[in-house]
Amino acid sequence: TVDGDRTNITFYSDVRVDDRYRVGPVNGGWGVLREALNAEHGTVERDNSGLHKIAVMTEHALLLADEVDRTAAAVADRLDDESVAYRLGRSVARLEAALSTPEMFGRVAIAQTLRDITPDLMDIAGTTAAVPSGLGAEYLFRLSLPMGIYGGTLDVFRNMIAQHALGLGKPNYSPPAKRP
């Protein structure tokens, strides 16, 4: 699994994978997994081709903003349909709120907003959202799940907010005690 409060990894022995399917160097699996975190946390050398992106999630939020605009333009003739107008307006409002939310709260807001509004954008756009030359809502929908694990899962950040910002206790994942 790659989401939730913890990630489970399964190891296999005596398995051969062709080099064309390998990502990164031989026996470099942890490095491949760690590289996204290094880039996001700013612990690697900055890209010398220009200004380094402040955060991967901000870039994804901007892609989502562009997609909301493209979807609105594509369905402009259907905005008299109250359902379309309401869902598109709700998507815009949620995106604006996420973009203006600071720090770790914003990290959760952006990732959750991407997960929540891309299905609406695909539904509003119809088949145009699913074709390669069409709108990008389907791509952003697929991007939303791994985005939830950049720098730690959404659940980890929610727990950090609960503990550090709200002063709540640590979550207890042990099974309920059996009654005598």
pTM (predicted TM-score): 0.66
What is the tens place of the pLDDT at every residue in 136-159? Answer: 888 888 888 877 776 566 887 888
The pLDDT, as a whole number, for residue 4 is 52
Domain ranges of the chain: 1-168
Which comes out higher in pLDDT, residue 73 or 13? 73
User: For residue 51, what pLDDT band results from cuts at 50, 70 and 90?
Assistant: very low
For residue 162, what is the DSSP state?
I
Residue 49 in this model has a pLDDT that exceeds 50:
no
Residue 180 in this model has a pLDDT that exceeds 60:
yes
The pLDDT, as a whole number, for residue 23 is 72
The pLDDT, as a whole number, for residue 116 is 94
The pLDDT, as a whole number, for residue 9 is 64
CATH class of 1-168: mainly alpha
Q: Which two three-digit tokens encode residue 174?
A: 């042990």
The pLDDT, as a whole number, for residue 48 is 53
Calculate mean pLDDT across residues 49-77.
78
Burial of 175 (0-12, 13-18, 19+ CB in 10 A): exposed
C-alpha atoms less than 13 angstroms from C-alpha of 179 in its C-beta half-sphere: 0
The pLDDT, as a whole number, for residue 54 is 46
Average pLDDT value for the chain: 79
Do 141 and 88 contact (CB within 8 A), yes or no?
Answer: no
Which amino acid makes up residue 23? V
* C-beta neighbour count of 152 within 10 angstroms: 17
Least confident of 54-58, 69-73, 124-128, 152-156: 54-58
